[in-house]
Amino acid sequence: MSHDNTGGDTPLRMPFLRQVAQAYADNEPENIAYYCFVVPNKRSAVFLSKYFSEVLTAGGAEAALTPSVITISDFISDLSDKIEISRIEMLFILYDVYSEIVKKHLSDADIAAGKGLVDFNRFQYWGDILINDFGDVDRYMVDARQLFRNIEGLKEISANYLTEEQLEVIRKYWNEDLVPEPVKEFWNHAVHVNSSRNGKAGNKNVAGFVKLWQVMQEVYDGFRERLSAAGYGYGGMIYREVAEQLKDMEAGDFDCDRYVFTGFSVLSESEQSIFRSMQRMGIADFYWDYASPAMYIKGNRASRFICRYVKLFPSRYRVGLDKMEDYPDITVVAVPSTFGQAKAIVPILHRLYPQRFSKPGTSSGMEAQGPALEQTAIVLPDENLVSPLLNAMPREIDTVNVTMGFPLSHTSVASLIKNIVSMQLRARELRSLDTFFFEDVIALLSHPLIRARYASLCDRIVATINKERIFNVPLTFFDAEEYAPLRPVFSIVKNLNDSDGVIDYLDSLLLWLADVIEPADTIDKDKEAVESDNPDDSLESDMSDMSDRSDLSDSTDLSDLPVTSSTRLEIQYIRSYRAALDELRRLNDTYLSNGRIFLEDKTVFHLAERILGNQSVAYEGMPLKGLQVMGVLESRGLDFDNIILTSMNERIFPRKHYAKTFIPDALRRGYGMATVDHQESMYAYYFYRLIARAKNVYLLYDARTSGLRAGDMSRYINQIKYQFPAGKVRFTGSQYRMASTNPEALAVKKTPAIMKELQRYLSKENGRYLSAHSLNTYINCPMQFYLANIERYYPENEVHDFMDEGTYGTIVHEVAEKMYIDLKGDAPSLALTPEIYSRLSDKKLVEEYVARSIRTHYLSLPADDPRPLQGDAAIFRKIMVRTLLKMFERESEFAGVEFISGEESQYVEMKVNDRYTINLNYRIDRIDRVTAPGSEPMIRIVDYKTGDDKMSAAGFDRLFEHGKAMAQPKAMFQLLLYCNAYAQKEKYDGAIQPFIYKLRKVAVEPFRPLSFNRLPVNDYRDINEGFLERLGGMLDEIYNPDIPFYAYPDKDNCKYCKFKELCSV
C-alpha cells in the first residue's frame, strides 16, 4: 500500500477557500469587486486573496478587481468606535476599579488601617480570570445582573442547614471541586472585606460569597464604564455592542453590497446575532466547510455546531457541503520523545521532497525541487516544539514560514529574567557591601544565553566562587577588569519597588543581551521590526539566510559564528520582550510610579516578570512562501496536500482544559456560554476539517509510558482507526539507534609521555609527590588516578549553602588539633593527665573553638566575628561540641598518653622495596606516645574519622582490590602507609600502632584498635612485610607500560566520582 497519495485533484479536493472564490468568479464576476469576504484569521485572508487572483485571471482573462478580504476582527473594529487595549492595561484599569469598589464597602477606620489595600501581585491572577469571564458574559450576550444573582443563589445553598451528604451531592453536580485554589483565595479576600450584613455577624462563608457577587456586579459595570469613557473595550464587550448596534442598522449603512462570511466553525451568541442581522438586511452570504467524511458519522463531535449553522445561515452557492468520498492516506508515527518529534519530521520531508535531498548533479532546474514547499503544513498543537523544529530543519528546506503565537514564558529569555528576578530578590547588604547569593550567580552564569558568548569567563568565575567558597558574592567582585563584560547583569537594583529603576534595569539588560547574541545595529531597529505591520518585517525563517556568515558582529568573540535559526529566534524573543517592556513603561507613569498599585510582599520585579511572561511572540511570516509551520488555530479554513500534525497525545490534542473561571459549569450551560464541551467540539472540527482534503497526513505522538506519561494516543487517532477505511490508516514507529549494551572497557594506554610523568614520582629532581589519597584512588579506579594525577584534572568542589561532610570533618579536625596544640604550647609534648582532660572538657571553651572554625570554614566570615551563630550553624555547633566532649571522655580511658604533634605534614622519600622509592606527602592528624604499665613506649598514629570508615580487613586482597571503593578499608591503608613513612623519616624502628578515632559512633562505641584477619593491630610491623609486598606489586602495575589505566565502572564505585560525567561509564 502506498502512502504517498499523488493522484490528481478532484473538484471536492480543491481547497475550500478556492472553491468559494471559484463559485463567485463563475457566477458574479462583474459584481465581485463590490463584495467583502470575512474570514476567521489573517492567514486565511491571504490565501483567499491569492485564490481570487488566480481564478479571476485563469485562462488568460484580463485582471479584474478583486474583492475586499478582511478578518472578523477587522469587520468588528470597523463597526465599533472602541479600541481593544492591551491585556496589561486592562489589568491595571480593572485593579483600579476593583480597589475603589472595595474601599466603598469599608469604614473610614478600616481604610485608615490599610484593610482596603489589595496586593496587585495576587490580584493579577484573579484579574485575568475576571477579564475572561466578563468577556464570555458579553460575547454570549448574557444578562450579567441575572447571572450574578443566580450565582448568589447557588452559593447560598452551602448554608449550614444542609447535611454533609447533601453538600457532597451538590458539589458533585455543580463541579465545585474544579474551582482553582487561587479562585478560592479570591473569595476569601472578599469575605475579609465584609463578612457581615447590616452590622451583624452571620454565616461567614454565606455572607462573604453573597457580598462578593454584589461587588462583582459593581466591578463589571464599573470596568465597562471606565473603558467606555476612554474609548476602550475588551473583545467580548466590543462584539456585544456591535451585535446590538447591527439590530438597528440597514443595508445602506454599509460600504459593500454583500458580506460573505467564510470558514467559521463554533460561533458565540454575539457572532450569531451579527450574522442574523446581516442576513436580515439581505447583504450576507455564508460558507461552511462541511465536506469531511467525519461530519457525517453519527456521534462525532466535530459536526455538533456546524450542522446547525448550515441550516440557520444557508449558502447562496453550493460549496463545501458535499461529502468527501476520498480519504487521505494517514500514517501514525509513534515517537518515544516529545522534542524527538521535531527530528522525526525530517525523514517525512525526505519522503515528500526526495528531489531536494538528492545528490548534487542528479537533476537541475526548478524540477529538481519537486512539489512546492507551501503545499505542506506542519501543525503544532504544542507551541513548545517551535524552537526544536526550526533547529532540526535541514538546509535543503530553504524557506520556512512560521505563523503562530508562542508564549514568552516558554522562551530562554523568560528563564533568564526569572533567574535575574530571583537574584535581585535575594540580594542583601552584608558588612556595608551589596551581595548576591552564590546559587543565583552560578545559575545565571550557567544560563545558555550568557554562556553563548562568555563560556570561558563564566567557568572562571564559577571556579573562583567554588574555590574560595564565596557564599555571598559581593558586587565589588565584578569590579575586576576581566569581569567587566558581565557587569550589566550583576548590577544591583537598590529599591525593588522602584518601577522606573526596575524597568530601566531590565531594558538595559535586554539591550546588552541582544548585543551579545547579534550585532548592535540589528537591535537598533528592534522596535520597527516589532511594530511594523509589513509581514516582511516579521519573522520569516529563511534557512539559507540564517546560515549567512556575513550577518555577524564585529566582535572577535562572534567572528566565527553563523547566524543560526536559534540565534534569530532568540533575537525575536528579545524584541518581543522589549516591546512588552515598552508597553509597561508607557503605563508606568499612570499606574505604578504614582502609588496607585499596591504591592504587599512582592516587588515590581515580580510584577514585571509575570506581566511580561504572559505576553506572546507573534510569528507572522509570508504565508504564500515556503514550508508552512502553524498552530491549530492558524490552520482554520486552510487546506494543504500534506499535513504533519505533532503532539497527537490525549490531554495535548485535544488539550485537557478546565477553564479558570468564577462561573460554575452548570450556569455556563444554562446561559449558553462556552464550556469544555464547546472546546472539544471546536477542536474536533478543526482536526477533521484540516485533514479532509489532504493527500498525505502524518500524525506523530509521544509513545513514552514512563513516570506520569501514559503514552496515550489522541482520541482522534483511535477514532480514525475504526471509522476510516482500514487501508487508509497505518501505524509505524520512529526508532532510535541504541548503543551496545556491552561497551568496551574504557582505558588509557601508557604512552612515553605518560611514563615520563610517572617517573617524576620516583625522582628527586623535578619530583612530584604521591599521597595516601592518590594511591587509594588508584586502588579504587586507575582511570581516576590517571585523570587526577597525570592529567591534573581537578573538578572544582561545588559551594553548598549547607554543611557537607567534608566541611564538617575539616572543622572537627581543626578544633581537636588547635585545642591540643594550644595546651602544649612550645613544649615538646603534652602529657594527657586528668587535669588536661578537665580543661579539654570545658564546654564553653570547646564551643568557642568550634564557633571560630565554623565561621572560617562554613560561613566564610572572620573567626572573631562577634555575631552569634544562627540556624543550621548553631545546630551543627551543638552536635560538634557534643562529639568532641565525648571524644575527650573516651580518650581519658587510655593511660600514659602524651600528645606529640597534630596535623603533621611532611614530604619524604619512602622506600618500598629495592625497585621503588617513592616521593610521598603525608599529613598525620595526630602523633602520640603511649606508655602502658609494664610495656615499652610506642608511637601511636591517630586518624580522626567523621565518616563510616572500615575498621577491619580480612586480608590484603581487600586492601588492594580494584573497583571496590565502598568496601575498601581506605583508612587502614592510609595509616599503614603513614607508619612506614614516619618510621623511615624519624629513623624509628620501634612499635607504631595505627589507630582510628571513629567519631561518628563515639557516643555508643569506645575507641578500639584496627583489626586484620580478626586480630587487633597493636604494631604495624606485625603485618608490614605483607603490606609492602602488595604495595610493591601495585607499583609494578602502575609502572608497567603494557598495562593501561582501566576504568572500573560500578554504580557504587562511580556514585561519588567527580569524573563520572567525563568518563561516561
Q: CATH number of the domain at 275, please.
A: 3.40.50.300
CA dist., res. 580 & res. 533, Å (int): 17
Average pLDDT, the chain: 82
Unique residue bearing C-alpha cell 477542536: 683
The size of the chain, in residues, is 1065
In this structure, are residues 660 and 294 in contact, taking their beta carbons and an 8 Å threshold? no
- Please report the pLDDT score of residue 546 as a whole number: 30
Which of 209, 233, 257 lies at the terminal end of a domain, its last residue?
233
Residue 159 per-residue DSSP state: S
Given a cut of 90, whether residue 229 has pLDDT beyond it is yes
- Please report the pLDDT score of residue 422 as a whole number: 87
Does residue 612 lie in a domain region?
A: no
Could you tell me the residue range of the domain that residue 463 belongs to?
A: 428-490
Are 70 and 159 members of one domain? no
- Please report the pLDDT score of residue 196 as a whole number: 39
Q: Which residue has the higher pLDDT, 857 or 332?
A: 332
In this structure, are residues 638 and 387 in contact, taking their beta carbons and an 8 Å threshold? no
Residue 788 per-residue DSSP state: I
Which of 201, 233, 265 lies at the terminal end of a domain, its last residue?
233
Are 132 and 151 members of one domain? yes
Does residue 552 lie in a domain region?
A: no
State phi, psi for 31 to the nearest 5 degrees: -105, -5
In this structure, are residues 603 and 496 in contact, taking their beta carbons and an 8 Å threshold? yes
Q: How confident is the model at residue 577 (pLDDT cuts 50, 70, 90)?
A: confident
Closest CA to 382 of 410, 362, 420, 347: 410
Does residue 464 lie in a domain region?
A: yes
Are 930 and 968 members of one domain? yes
Are 717 and 829 members of one domain? no
Unique residue bearing C-alpha cell 455538533: 304
In this structure, are residues 268 and 654 in contact, taking their beta carbons and an 8 Å threshold? no
Does this model's pTM top 0.75? My answer is no
- Please report the pLDDT score of residue 210 as a whole number: 32
CA dist., res. 781 & res. 392, Å (int): 40
Instruction: Give per-residue pLDDT as tens, 733-743.
Output: 876 665 555 55
The percentage of the chain sitting over the pLDDT mark of 70, rounded to a whole number, equals: 81
Q: How confident is the model at residue 532 (pLDDT cuts 50, 70, 90)?
A: very low
Are 920 and 1032 members of one domain? yes
Given a cut of 90, whether residue 934 has pLDDT beyond it is no
CA dist., res. 500 & res. 496, Å (int): 10
Q: How confident is the model at residue 559 (pLDDT cuts 50, 70, 90)?
A: very low
Q: The domain spanning residue 865 has which CATH number?
A: 3.90.320
Are 937 and 1004 members of one domain? yes
Instruction: Pick from 245-254, 604-613, 914-923 the range whose average pLDDT is largest.
Output: 245-254
- Structure-block grid coordinates of residue 373: 514547499
Bridge partner list, 259? 36, 284
User: Which amino acid belongs to residue 333?
Assistant: V
- Please report the pLDDT score of residue 201 as a whole number: 41
Residue 629 Cα distances to 390, 533, 535, 646, 1015, angstroms: 9, 20, 15, 11, 76
CA-based angle 396:402:408, to the nearest 5? Answer: 125
Q: Which residue has the higher pLDDT, 805 or 2?
A: 805
Given a cut of 70, whether residue 583 has pLDDT beyond it is yes
Are 954 and 1013 members of one domain? yes
Instruction: Give per-residue pLDDT as tens, 12-44.
Output: 789 999 999 999 999 999 999 999 999 999 999
Instruction: Pick from 257-266, 316-325, 334-343 the range whose average pLDDT is largest.
Output: 257-266
Q: How confident is the model at residue 745 (pLDDT cuts 50, 70, 90)?
A: low
Which of helix, strand or coil describes residue 407? Answer: strand
- Please report the pLDDT score of residue 828 as a whole number: 92
Are 652 and 760 members of one domain? no
- Structure-block grid coordinates of residue 488: 550589566
State phi, psi for 36 to the nearest 5 degrees: -125, 130
- Please report the pLDDT score of residue 157 as a whole number: 60
Unique residue bearing C-alpha cell 479600541: 83
Given a cut of 50, whether residue 208 has pLDDT beyond it is no
Does residue 933 lie in a domain region?
A: yes
Q: How confident is the model at residue 203 (pLDDT cuts 50, 70, 90)?
A: very low
Are 727 and 761 members of one domain? no
Range in 63-72, 292-301, 591-600, 679-688 the model is least confident about: 591-600
CA dist., res. 988 & res. 977, Å (int): 15
Q: Which helix (H) or strand (E) holds 130?
A: helix 120-139
Q: How confident is the model at residue 332 (pLDDT cuts 50, 70, 90)?
A: very high
- Please report the pLDDT score of residue 798 as a whole number: 62
Range in 310-314, 445-449, 553-557, 839-843 the model is least confident about: 553-557
Given a cut of 50, whether residue 668 has pLDDT beyond it is yes
CA dist., res. 798 & res. 750, Å (int): 31
Instruction: Give per-residue pLDDT as tens, 459-474.
Output: 999 988 887 778 889 9
CA dist., res. 233 & res. 986, Å (int): 92
Q: How confident is the model at residue 732 (pLDDT cuts 50, 70, 90)?
A: very high
- Please report the pLDDT score of residue 609 as a whole number: 73
Residue 1006 per-residue DSSP state: -
Are 221 and 254 members of one domain? no
Does residue 595 lie in a domain region?
A: no
Does residue 1043 lie in a domain region?
A: yes
Alpha helix locations (H) across 588-675? 604-613, 665-670
Closest CA to 693 of 9, 4, 1: 9
Which of 198, 233, 268 lies at the terminal end of a domain, its last residue?
233
Does residue 507 lie in a domain region?
A: no
Q: Which residue has the higher pLDDT, 618 or 324?
A: 324
Residue 411 per-residue DSSP state: S
- Structure-block grid coordinates of residue 717: 487517532
Q: Do you find a cis peptide bond into 654, omega within 30 degrees of 0?
A: yes
Q: How confident is the model at residue 445 (pLDDT cuts 50, 70, 90)?
A: very high
Are 109 and 39 members of one domain? no
- Please report the pLDDT score of residue 151 as a whole number: 78
Q: Which residue has the higher pLDDT, 865 or 566?
A: 865
State phi, psi for 901 to the nearest 5 degrees: -160, 160
User: Which amino acid belongs to residue 59?
Assistant: G
Closest CA to 658 of 668, 647, 671: 668
- Please report the pLDDT score of residue 137 as a whole number: 97
Please compute, for residue 722, the number of CA atoms within 13 A of its CA located in the half-sphere on the CB side. 6
Between helix 871-891 and helix 843-857 the angle, nearest 10°, is 130
- Mean pLDDT of the region 57-67: 77
Q: How confident is the model at residue 566 (pLDDT cuts 50, 70, 90)?
A: low
Given a cut of 50, whether residue 864 has pLDDT beyond it is yes
Given a cut of 50, whether residue 347 has pLDDT beyond it is yes
Please compute, for residue 1034, the number of CA atoms within 13 A of its CA located in the half-sphere on the CB side. 25
CA dist., res. 611 & res. 717, Å (int): 37
Instruction: Give per-residue pLDDT as tens, 811-827.
Output: 999 999 999 999 999 99
The count of structural domains within the chain is: 5
- Please report the pLDDT score of residue 179 as a whole number: 43
Q: How confident is the model at residue 1033 (pLDDT cuts 50, 70, 90)?
A: very high
- Please report the pLDDT score of residue 987 as a whole number: 92
Does residue 542 lie in a domain region?
A: no
- Mean pLDDT of the region 111-115: 69
- Mean pLDDT of the region 1017-1022: 92
CA dist., res. 543 & res. 549, Å (int): 12
- Please report the pLDDT score of residue 380 as a whole number: 94
Unique residue bearing C-alpha cell 447590616: 198
CA-based angle 426:431:434, to the nearest 5? Answer: 40
- Mean pLDDT of the region 381-390: 88
User: Which amino acid belongs to residue 589?
Assistant: D
Given a cut of 70, whether residue 924 has pLDDT beyond it is yes
CA-based angle 854:860:861, to the nearest 5? Answer: 80
Are 207 and 297 members of one domain? no
